[in-house]
């Protein structure tokens, strides 16, 4: 009896060792997309009044965890039974990400002055609850698309492993992706509150007060930077999906840097999707009249 228990414990220990090794490899392979995920979701999770930041981030985090609960089993089943479906899902998600990125670029180029005026006029007004819910849904949807990419990449690193190792490795990466990313996002958006607390406790004197002021001044710069990085990440991730999953694109501009090629593909995919969406809205508007 005792020997049987020890044998089971040995099997569990061996499984955990395999999972740890596989998770380390999967984490290194998904590091880039996790960085993009952080930039995109930090940009998505900002713009709320201070009192609503934590509740909003908690709603987005819960949505992100539910995304993983949905995606992980579906990805594992499709990988075993219908691997082509994973490619199709990735491409559809790529077009969505490209559309979001290019739409932001177009808005910045052609509607920047209008947006600045609106922000100036409404800067001290709390956004309506409907706008908050819309932003939360948008953030969760974007997280869903990025989560598919993260989980598929993680799954691709353990294709030769046993099913238990696959399940535990992909689940580990999924949990880290949600808790890690939104934990960092929370720290970023609360920087100014921490800064103000340091200033008050130090009575606005000394090195502690200077650190507090630095945190307060740094937050707007970080948010603006993340907004730009997040937009670029959307386009680049989408371009990477197209480049890796559409065969004939593998041989387009082979001598150019992969990052540049993927950016071009992302922009083209986003522009095509934006044109399609804009045209569809106009057609629907005509029929409604």
- Distance in angstroms (rounded) separating the CA atoms of residues 27 and 99: 27
Is it the case that residue 119 has pLDDT exceeding 70?
A: no
37 CB-near residues (< 8 Å, 6+ apart): 143, 146, 147, 150, 177, 181, 233
Write 261-265 long-range contacts (CB < 8 A, 24+). 262/236, 263/232, 263/235, 263/236, 263/239, 264/239, 265/238, 265/239
Segment 171-175 shows an average pLDDT of 86
Question: 223 falls in which pLDDT band (50, 70, 90)?
Answer: confident
Question: 93 falls in which pLDDT band (50, 70, 90)?
Answer: confident
For tokens 């979701």, what's the residue? 41
pLDDT at 138: 83
Counted residue by residue, the chain has a size of 289
Is it the case that residue 14 has pLDDT exceeding 60?
A: yes
pLDDT at 113: 57
- DSSP secondary structure string for all residues of 117-172: HHHHHHTTSPPPHHHHHHHHHHHHHHHHHHHHHHHHHHHHTTTTS-HHHHHHHHHH
Q: At what angle do helices 163-189 and 129-156 cross, to 10 degrees?
A: 140
Is it the case that residue 122 has pLDDT exceeding 50?
A: no
Segment 258-272 shows an average pLDDT of 92
pLDDT at 145: 82
Question: 112 falls in which pLDDT band (50, 70, 90)?
Answer: low
For tokens 């392979």, what's the residue? 29
From residue 232, alpha-carbon distances to 82, 101, 242 in Å are 32, 7, 15
CB-based burial of residue 181 (10 Å sphere; 0-12 exposed, 13-18 middle, 19+ buried)? buried
């Amino acid at each position: 009896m005792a020997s049987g228990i020890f044998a089971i414990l040995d099997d569990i220990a061996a499984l955990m060792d395999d999972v740890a090794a596989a998770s380390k490899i999967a984490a290194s392979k998904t590091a880039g997309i996790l960085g993009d995920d952080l930039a995109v979701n930090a940009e998505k999770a900002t713009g709320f009044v201070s009192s609503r930041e934590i509740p909003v981030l908690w709603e987005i985090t819960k949505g992100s965890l539910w995304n993983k609960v949905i995606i992980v089993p579906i990805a594992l089943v499709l990988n075993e039974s219908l691997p082509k479906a994973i490619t199709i899902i990735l491409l559809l998600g790529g077009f969505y990400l490209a559309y979001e990125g290019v739409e932001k670029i177009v808005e910045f180029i052609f509607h920047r002055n209008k947006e600045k005026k609106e922000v100036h006029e409404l800067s001290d007004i709390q956004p309506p609850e409907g706008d908050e819910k819309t932003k939360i849904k948008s953030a969760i949807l974007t997280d869903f698309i990025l989560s598919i990419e993260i989980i598929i990449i993680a799954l691709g690193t353990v294709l030769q492993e046993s099913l238990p190792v696959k399940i535990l490795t992909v689940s580990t990466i999924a949990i880290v992706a949600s808790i890690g990313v939104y934990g960092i996002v929370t720290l970023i958006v609360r920087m100014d509150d921490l800064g103000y607390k340091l200033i008050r406790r130090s009575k606005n004197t000394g090195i502690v007060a200077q650190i507090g002021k630095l945190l307060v001044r740094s937050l707007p710069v970080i948010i603006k930077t993340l907004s730009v990085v997040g937009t670029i990440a959307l386009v680049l991730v989408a371009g990477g999906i197209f480049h890796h999953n559409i065969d004939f694109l593998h041989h387009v501009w082979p001598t150019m840097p992969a990052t540049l090629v993927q950016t071009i593909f992302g922009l083209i995919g986003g522009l095509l999707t934006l044109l399609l969406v804009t045209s569809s809205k106009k057609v629907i508007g005509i029929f409604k009249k």
